Amino acid sequence: MPMDRVLRHPVLDVPGPGPTVEFTFDGRPITARPSEPISSALIANGIHIFGRHERDGAPQGIFCANGQCAQCLVVVDGRPVKACLTPVRPGMVVRSTVGYPELAPDDAPVSLVPRVDEVRTEVLIVGGGPAGLEAARELAARELDVTICDDKPTLGGKLSLQTHNFFGSVADCHAGDRGQAIGELLAAEVAALPTVEIWTESPVVGVFDGGVVGVVRRGRFTAVRPKVLLVAAGAREKALAFPGADLPGVYGAGAFQTLVNRDLVLPSRRLFIVGAGNVGLIVAYQALQAGVDVVAVVEMLPEVGGYKVHRDKLLRLGVPVYTSHTVLRAEGREHVERVIAARVDPKFHPIPGSEVAFDVDTVLVAVGLSPVNELFEEARRIGLRAYAAGDAREIAEASAAIFSGRIVARTILKDLGFPDTVPEAWRQRALELSAHPGPVLGVYPVPAERRVYPLLRCEQEIPCNPCTEVCPLDSITILEGNLLGRPKLVGDCSGCLKCVAVCPGLAITLVDRRVDPTGARARVTVPWEMPEEWVHPGEVVPTSGREGEPVGEARVVRILAGRALHHRRLLVLDVPASEADRVAGVRVRDPVPPRPVPGAPPVRDDEVVLCRCERVTRASVIEYLRATGTRDMNAVKAGLRSGMGPCGGRTCGELILRVFRELGIEPGSVTPGVPRPFTQEVPITAFLSEENDGRGR
């Protein structure tokens, strides 16, 4: 299949050529992998435009890749469906949606009756990510009947999309392992529990009168009556509004991870990332792993919001991170072709004359996450006993979500009258794990007079300890005695490389000065997670220092690999002895300076689409708010239809609140939109069954 697919990956298992499925899109034959989503099959075939919007013909493509919006709507065999949720089937006829989809005039009378399966459970958990899974495990320990619902085919939540090694503690949250592996591990543990029922491909779509929770269980509407609802539905990405943000090729980091890391398609060749929090930095790294060039990461704030180690590993590879910069606009005729960015002043206003252009095909927006907690709020309002855990409660790392799930589960048990308590150590650990990146404190000095030693470039408080756990000589310790402190080498080093292989921040190298009796050369071993073909033994490669500064050149002596190395390869480099302590990585790309385009046209409000579903611009929102003086999101919705689309205002809601604020209206004084079922659109057939199947009521 000579297509836009990930064919090699340093971490993920890439299946070899296997069976294929043929279908057509607007008459064109398409070859797909069996049961992959239509959207991924189309993108793998270079098709990024799935339809055109009814209102203005704007091209529509993938946006959330998560079933939350409806931008990827296509018509399959006469039925409008979301391409990102619908697996390909041999021979299916897929058409692009131009304007509103037509209902096929399929008028044969049907005998379908109302259908609701009613199910009771003690605890219904929404979301099978780290928080939900860990909560299930705790609850099952008391033999409670637990049902976990997840809209995806497999459990693990967003862990399943993560190829990087996680921070945290080795002893109690699998630190040092890759996200995907942690997800599989947690899911397998829960799958083995006899009192836990797992419903995959089963989105929870609303909370109804009397505390009934509506689940579309594999296409069938099901009424669940839980004693307790635990919402562990994770987070959604915040949107950013700028001209061109509605073009195909602009989407969230999560959508990119879904396409690349789950479906192994390559939607991009040249990527631009907005936001240098942990999500933006990590997805940049993951993009490189898949072979996508990351042209730049921009961050509005003067410092990156994510961990310094995540930034530094990008800088070392040669990816520029521009702080105090923002995206002005994305340009392109039917798809992103370039991005204009600019420096911002201390008040975050773009500085005229500082505009620069980057030629890219894709822009990822990674400007923060919001809890998915609507079901929790609604359940509380209705009077159902409800709890939230993980990101749905507080945005933090997956390791923190693991503890959040355990703690909330214990709280539920206590509230149900079980003699359980939340151990104080858990609370402590949860606090540590959810700590935000702290100040950069610098590294401990290089040990003098040593011939072989690790350099621990861990210079910021990070809740992480794998290096201290793997050292066979117990030579690495955290003096502060908690997870957050910086590791220090306090004993001998045998040069075993375990710490280099495990450090999730890729912040450890091993210097070995024993090999060259003349003392002119040294060996430096650095962790390496990039595509295999980028570096070969014997090759001379440019080296980078801790923060990406060029150091010199090194010869690749050999490449170590193996299970014991956490699927990570290690490059053994031969470097001048004088550079050995400075070499922290290998540069793979030369940062191309951006093209200055001073005097780029200023952003007009009527170019900025806030509500993508209904194509509502910033200009019309401003005009509406000024004309009506309203303080009610429901009125904006009524007047402009913003939030009336398939996503229910989940994308534009915060953007519109921001406009309120800009007009001097405190968002807290604005009446929020009234949430209503369904949290995502439901095919009408989910509510019906054949008259004679004996399952309806």
Q: Would you tell me which residues interact with another protein (CB under 8 A)? A: 54, 70, 78-80, 99-116, 206, 208-210, 212, 214, 221, 223, 382, 627-628, 630-632, 634-635, 637-639, 641, 646, 648, 671, 676-678, 681-685, 687-688
Q: Minimal distance in Å, beta carbon 3 to another protein?
A: 30
Nearer to another protein, 531 or 677 (CB): 677
Distance CA 486, CA 481 (A): 10
Residues 6+ apart with CB under 8 A from 505: 167, 307, 309, 310, 313, 458, 462, 464
> In angstroms, rounded to a whole number, what is the distance separating the alpha carbons of residues 456 and 445?
9
Measured from the CB atom, the residue of 116 and 619 that comes closer to another protein is: 116
- Judge if the upstream peptide bond of residue 208 is cis by omega within 30 degrees of 0: no
CB nearer to another protein: give 80 or 132. 80
Q: Residue 608 Cβ, how far from another protein at the closest point, in Å? A: 23
The least distance separating another protein from the CB of residue 377, rounded to whole angstroms, comes to 13
What are the C-alpha distances in Å from 319 to residues 284, 362, 582, 612? Answer: 9, 16, 19, 31
CA distances from 12 to 152, 154, 266, 280, 563 (A): 19, 16, 14, 20, 14
Comparison of 80 and 254: residue with beta carbon closer to another protein: 80
Select 59 or 648, whichever has its Cβ closest to another protein.
648
Q: How far is the CB of 675 from another protein (least distance, A)?
A: 10
Q: Report, in Å, the least distance between residue 263 CB and another protein.
A: 23
* CB-nearer residue toward another protein: 112 or 478: 112
3-state SS of 366-380 is CCCEEECCHHHHHHH
* Least Å from the CB of residue 241 to another protein: 23
| Shortest Cβ 52–another protein spacing (Å) | 13
Q: Minimum Å distance from CB 235 to another protein?
A: 23
Q: Considering the complex, state which of residue 116 and residue 431 has its C-beta at the smaller distance from another protein.
A: 116
Q: Let me know the angle formed at the C-alpha of 46 by 45 and 47, rounded to the nearest 5 degrees.
A: 95
Longest alpha-carbon distance in the chain: 90
Of 116 and 395, nearer to another protein (C-beta) is 116
What's the closest the beta carbon of residue 590 comes to another protein, in angstroms?
A: 48
Q: Which is nearer to another protein, 370 or 685 (CB)?
A: 685
Q: Which is nearer to another protein, 508 or 616 (CB)?
A: 616
Contact, 365 vs 237, CB < 8 A? yes
**What is the spatial distance between Cα 446 and Cα 579, in angstroms, rounded to a whole number?**
13
Least distance to another protein from the beta carbon of 192, Å?
Answer: 32
Residue 324 C-beta: closest distance to another protein, Å: 38
Nearest partner of 297 among 11, 306, 289, judged by Cα: 306
Residue among 155, 154, 151, 182 nearest 166 (CA): 182
Cα distance between residue 574 and residue 593, in whole Å: 30
Q: What single string gives the DSSP state of each residue in 90-150?
A: TT-EEEEEESSPPPP-------EEE--EEEEEEEEEE--SHHHHHHHHHHHTTT--EEEE-
Structure tokens at 295: 């042209």
Smallest distance, another protein to C-beta of residue 226, A: 13
- Alpha carbon distance 68, 681 (integer Å): 8
Residues 355 and 341: their CA atoms lie apart, in Å, by 6
The CA distance from 540 to 67, in Å, is 46
Output the CA–CA distances (angstroms, integers) from residue 657 to 326, 458, 654, in the order listed: 20, 39, 5
Q: How far is the CB of 641 from another protein (least distance, A)?
A: 8
Closest to another protein by CB, 69 or 342: 69
Residue with smaller CB distance to another protein, 447 or 639: 639
| Residues recorded for the chain | 697
For residue 254, what are its two tokens?
């999560």
Q: Residue 573: name the closest of 530, 518, 512, 531 by CA.
A: 512
Where b means 16+ CB within 10 Å and e means fewer, 283-296 reads: bbbbbbbbbbbbbb
Distance in Å, CB of 21 to another protein, minimum: 23
Residue 606 — left, alpha, or beta (φ > 0 → left; ψ -120 to 50 → alpha)?
alpha
Angle between helices 130-140 and 398-415 (to 10 degrees): 30
Residue number with CB closer to another protein (209 or 424): 209
Closer residue to another protein (CB): 333 or 697: 697
